[in-house]
Amino acid sequence: MDRVEVLTDVYREWGRGNYRAGLELYDPELTLEIHSPIPEAGVYEGLTGLRRYMNEFLGTWEDYEIRAEDIQEEGDTVVVSVHHGGRASGAPVEADFVTAWTFDGDRVVRLDSAQDRETALAAARKSGA
């Protein structure tokens, strides 16, 4: 599996509004950690936690766009620099963040989203995933 290619395809589909793309990659026991000061910061466990976070997050947008700016593999982790934006509460919003996708084989076991690459990658490494 070429993880960079797979995640490139996932983000392309997300950019088209298909947020179900990539679901087959997630381990049922995955951990999603959103690092402060990103809104809704916290730890979300398993597919149920991931769904809850995504429903809450996407529910805040009137329209939403996302695109991967850069994708780099570092061992079992793929680091994705993301630009996103849209309208939330009637106001235009744009921001950048980074997500570190930690794999065990072909399955994603951990996601760390942070405002910067160093925080996301350090959290992924510290988790021991």
> What pLDDT is recorded for position 61?
87
Q: How far apart are CA 100 and CA 80, in angstroms?
A: 6
Task: Find the CATH number of the domain harbouring 58.
Answer: 3.10.450.50
What is the average pLDDT across 11-26? 96
Split into its structural domains, the chain has a count of 1
Give the structural domain span for 57: 3-21+29-127
pLDDT exceeds cutoff 80 at 128: no
| Residue 14: pLDDT band with limits 50, 70, 90 | very high
Residue-wise pLDDT for 35-71, tens only, equals 999 888 999 999 999 999 999 988 888 889 999 999 9
What is the average pLDDT across 4-13? 98
Count Cα neighbours of 25 within 13 Å in the Cβ-side half-sphere. Answer: 20
> What pLDDT is recorded for position 58?
87
Cα–Cα distances in Å, from 59 out to 2, 34, 97, 119, 129? 32, 17, 19, 26, 30
> What pLDDT is recorded for position 19?
92
> What pLDDT is recorded for position 111?
98
